[in-house]
Structure 1
Amino acid sequence: MRFRWTSTKSGLGKGDVRLNVSSSELWGHAVANITPSAMPTVTISLVAIHGGSFTWLAYALIGVLMTLVAVQVGVLARHFPSPGSLFFYLSKALHPISGMIAGFTMMAGYFGALAAAPLLGGLFVEQALRFFAPVSGMGWIAGIAVLYLLVAWRLALRGIEISARWGLWVEIFSILCIVLIAAVTLWHFGWHDPAQWNFRRLHTAPLAQALVLSLLAYGGFETAGNLAGETSAARTAIPRVMVLSVLMVGGFFVAMAYVEVLAFAHIPTSLGDSAAPLNAIAEAIGYPWLGIFSDLAMATAAFSATIATLNSISRILYSMAGHGVIPRFFHHRDAGYGTPARALRVLAIIVLLSVAVVALWRIPILSVVGTFGTFTGLAFLLIYGLANIATPWFLFRQRHARRWISLIIAGISLPLLIKVMAVSLWPLPAGGEGAATLLFIALVMVIFFWGLYWAAFRPERLRHILVAVDEP
């Protein structure tokens, strides 16, 4: 794919620049957005409270569901490749207003992940450093977070190929750290755990709640679509990567859930009550120093997530600006690197300000992560639900041969997504999570009525969304 653009500073044409991301880098970008390392190090405890011995089954069932969702999103990516991803897919397949809702909620959701990732990285680096020196305090965390952001921003500005490659290798290192702990755990305890296979003890209601919580671990695979303008054979490569990334992280989730439940059967504390399960396992098997690999895994995963979300949001801003939804200012690529530099600079400044606020007000990092995570999770649920409506709707309009398959997939996945959304919205969570939920509802309503206003009084604005701008 070749892009030609003009520098707004000089007004001089800079010629054609070829941007080409390999399949492995595309996969690394998607996996970095999913951040699989967070599951065994942090979020598995929430699922295990309800899943118990069948936590692995919850991740397996949701893995199948999310694979079906990835197939649906992949169909849209094949027909409407665009850096705007689901913003453009839903605009074309369903309605421009649904695209606007998806675009703004995606940006807000991904920004929640972007703002939390450097802080989370700072927290885990600080914990890792405690093995060697008595370091602690918000100053350390904020300083490391700023360093994370600046390095990630510079890599993202230099080009998607180099930043995706860095993100891929960093994520591989993170997963290897976790696999090391899992291997030592199996060597210590063995692999056989009859309790996890005794299905007579399986109860439907707790498993259903575990399914709800495990679903959010898979979010982020759709960001592969944000690189449509920089990937060769985008119509085939991106759908394949979406499905592959879900399958691969799903296998990792199921395996780690089995290993951690097995290990905690020999630990007095329950897995659901553990804030740092891998560290607890390292302590239990007599190698507490292995806990540093858990901290390093999350620290490096946070860095790859920072790069990936910078790349994703900047390209959504670029696409939405090109379609006239947000100011044209963001529809600009750097003359030298070909990256959406203005969007990247604005994002970096906003995240720097958020880090400063957290540091100055000494807001607990995990509460920040929980608040932003609520917003991000709701955004995933909404856009996946809309994709399951849009895909069969579009295929039936086209009388496509696979339209009935798409409808069956939607009939399986859409009810569960709606159930998860309902549970997430009511009863309203307390504290920051509740505030994030109300803010999310308000954002969706504002964008919806904004779209209705355009439909009634500015229909040309909605029509312009359907026009391809710098699309493959």
Structure 2
Amino acid sequence: MTAEIELTQSVHGLKKECLSYGEVLAQSIAVIAPTTTPAANLGLIYASAGNGTWLSFLIGMMGLIFVAVNINQFARRSASPGSLYSYIVKGLGVTAGVLSAWGLILAYLFTGMSTLCGFAIFGQSLLNHIGIHTHVLTLFALGTVLAWYVAYKDIQLSAKMMLLLEAFSIGLILVLGLIIWLQKGFAVDISQLTLQGATPGGISLGVVLVVFGFSGFESATSLGDEAKKPLKNIPKSVMQSAIWTGVFFMIMAYIEVLGFRGSSVDLAKTEEPLSFLAEQAGVGFLGTLISVGALLSFFACVLACINPAARVLFMMARHGLFHTSLGKAHDANLTPHTAIALCSLITFIIPATLNLFGIKPFVILGYTGTICTYGFLLVYILVSVAAPVYLHRLGKLRSLDLAFSVLAVLFMMIPIIGTLGIPGSDLFPVPPSPYNIFPYLFLLYLFAGFSWFMIQRLRYPKMVKKLEHSIDAIHASFSDVE
């Protein structure tokens, strides 16, 4: 290894302090993929929440702001590629931390699968317009291979690409939203403001999908080695990504529901609502540009999901939970290349297999988007519980900190109740099949992950102490900042 590389790599072998604040923020924004929600996923939320769609976004944003406060109790004090996994180990111990790591891996990978489906949907639509017909599996493979290559090659390239793609897409959507609202005479939609026809159960189920829409806002925490001024830029990115995307989501939800008012087309059944509204507004070319932007945003999200999933896997391997090859960084690129390759492969295989069994990409998008939410909910609850425990050990726990922890957990219970439902309840009905079995599949997945941890713990009795020592050392390296 050259002297130059040695100077630029961290203790974990990753490129050290190479990402600016904007590039760190781009990581969180890209996993959220704000373009994809109004361009493709809003119909799924509207199908549950109806005129309360904007309220589902508001509730979700408020809940995740409380979660962000708890995450930042750790992010202001230490940083590592382990993301929330390292934080939860520090607050609640190794077992809770390992469960959170399994939850994070599932959350990021299934988000990547969902957005890979979106990439294929929009890719097919755009190619069909120019007379090119291709199989969805071809687009699955194309999106995955491109994302793998960029993630493997350079984290700075990844971050800059994600930043540019999202800025382009969001700008186009805001212009279209302004045009739609202008044509409606900047109308005040009383039906939405009074929640006409909306139910608490529908709004809470909408919050489940909203959490998916916001999910990944914390992913900048996986750039602990690679971010410049990590104790400043990472917490700032976590909070601002939740606030700004939340405002964007509420504005576009209000405008799109208003735009479909009086139309013969049902928003709940529309895969490309913004393209339809652009045609209705007489600016079809803008709809096409937004579709291109959505395609690029879906790709950016696939890339952005592979990056943090690979880094969590990378840290778990370095702690003895997986084969050591997954914990090695590339000598020249300074990226966790083996973990990236594995995450890319999984991201492709599962949606490709479902499609081979005849399930359409739009349906797979809904399935994987719902399942990934359980991983995020688990981790958000655990880190919110871990924060006051951690602060208490530091002797810095305040009543306000405890209140933020309780509020975050309570808000996260809304999508949990919406997901599980209450048998016989009209307000919180049990979701239809197969969504009603997804929570149990997630619990089975966690049980498998926990069992693997126990097996590794028996095989390597010193593993837990080494894991704790490794994470303690990371925190101790930042202790002079306090």
Instruction: With the length of structure 1 as denominator, give the TM-score of the two structures.
Output: 0.88
In the alignment, structure 1 residue 182 sits paired with structure 2 residue 188: no
In the alignment, structure 1 residue 262 sits paired with structure 2 residue 279: no
- Equivalent residue for 1:217? 213
What pairs up with 1:331-342 in 2 under 5 angstroms?
331-342=327-338
Q: Percent identity?
A: 24
Q: Tell me, what secondary structure is at the counterpart of 2:312?
A: helix
Task: Name the amino acid aligned to 2:441.
Answer: L
Give the one of 454, 462, 465 matched to 2:464. 462
Q: CA deviation at 1:277?
A: 2.0
- Equivalent residue for 1:72? 70
Give the one of 237, 243, 247 matched to 1:241. 237
Aligned counterparts of 2:258 and 2:414: Cα–Cα separation in 1: 30
Bigger drift between 265-274 and 156-165 goes to: 265-274
Q: CA deviation at 1:179?
A: 1.9
Give the conservation status (yes or no) of the 8 Å contact 2:50–2:197: no
CA RMSD of aligned residues (A): 2.9
Give the one of 115, 123, 126 matched to 1:117. 115
Aligned counterparts of 2:126 and 2:145: Cα–Cα separation in 1: 21
Give the one of 120, 131, 143 matched to 2:138. 143
What pairs up with 1:350-389 in 2 under 5 angstroms?
350-354=346-350, 356-358=352-354, 360-389=356-385
Aligned counterparts of 1:420 and 1:35: Cα–Cα separation in 2: 20
Task: Name the amino acid aligned to 1:467.
Answer: H
Bigger drift between 320-329 and 197-206 goes to: 197-206
- Equivalent residue for 1:84? 82
Structure 1 unaligned segments of length 5 or more: list them: 8-15
Give the one of 396, 400, 403 matched to 1:400. 396
Q: CA deviation at 1:96?
A: 0.6
Aligned counterparts of 2:10 and 2:338: Cα–Cα separation in 1: 17
Give the conservation status (yes or no) of the 8 Å contact 1:283–1:291: yes
Q: Evaluate the alpha carbon distance shift between residue 111 and residue 444 of structure 1 in structure 2; reply closer, same or farther with a 3 A threshold.
A: same
Give the conservation status (yes or no) of the 8 Å contact 2:212–2:369: no
What pairs up with 1:272-311 in 2 under 5 angstroms?
272-311=268-307
Deviations 1:162-201 (A, max 9, x none): 1111111111122223223212212322222241575495
- Count of residue pairs brought into register by the alignment: 460
Task: Name the amino acid aligned to 2:463.
Answer: R
Q: CA deviation at 1:284?
A: 2.5
Give the conservation status (yes or no) of the 8 Å contact 1:146–1:355: no
Bigger drift between 362-371 and 385-394 goes to: 362-371
Give the conservation status (yes or no) of the 8 Å contact 1:70–1:243: yes
- Equivalent residue for 1:160? 155
- Equivalent residue for 1:3? 9
Task: Name the amino acid aligned to 2:259.
Answer: A
Q: Evaluate the alpha carbon distance shift between residue 194 and residue 155 of structure 1 in structure 2; reply closer, same or farther with a 3 A threshold.
A: closer
Instruction: With the length of structure 2 as denominator, give the TM-score of the two structures.
Output: 0.86
Q: Evaluate the alpha carbon distance shift between residue 308 and residue 393 of structure 1 in structure 2; reply closer, same or farther with a 3 A threshold.
A: same
Aligned counterparts of 2:38 and 2:191: Cα–Cα separation in 1: 17
Give the conservation status (yes or no) of the 8 Å contact 2:43–2:268: yes
Q: Evaluate the alpha carbon distance shift between residue 44 and residue 119 of structure 1 in structure 2; reply closer, same or farther with a 3 A threshold.
A: closer
Aligned counterparts of 2:195 and 2:417: Cα–Cα separation in 1: 29
Q: Evaluate the alpha carbon distance shift between residue 433 and residue 71 of structure 1 in structure 2; reply closer, same or farther with a 3 A threshold.
A: same
Aligned counterparts of 1:209 and 1:433: Cα–Cα separation in 2: 11
Q: CA deviation at 1:119?
A: 3.4
Deviations 1:4-46 (A, max 9, x none): 6799xxxxxxxx9645111101111111111111221222223
Structure 2 unaligned segments of length 5 or more: list them: 1-6, 424-429, 478-482
Q: Tell me, what secondary structure is at the counterpart of 2:147?
A: helix
Deviations 1:251-282 (A, max 9, x none): 11111012112212242344334343223322
Aligned counterparts of 1:406 and 1:6: Cα–Cα separation in 2: 32
Q: Evaluate the alpha carbon distance shift between residue 364 and residue 207 of structure 1 in structure 2; reply closer, same or farther with a 3 A threshold.
A: closer
Aligned counterparts of 2:222 and 2:357: Cα–Cα separation in 1: 35
Task: Name the amino acid aligned to 1:383.
Answer: V
Bigger drift between 405-414 and 114-123 goes to: 114-123
Q: CA deviation at 1:414?
A: 0.8
Q: CA deviation at 1:351?
A: 3.8
Q: CA deviation at 1:80?
A: 3.5
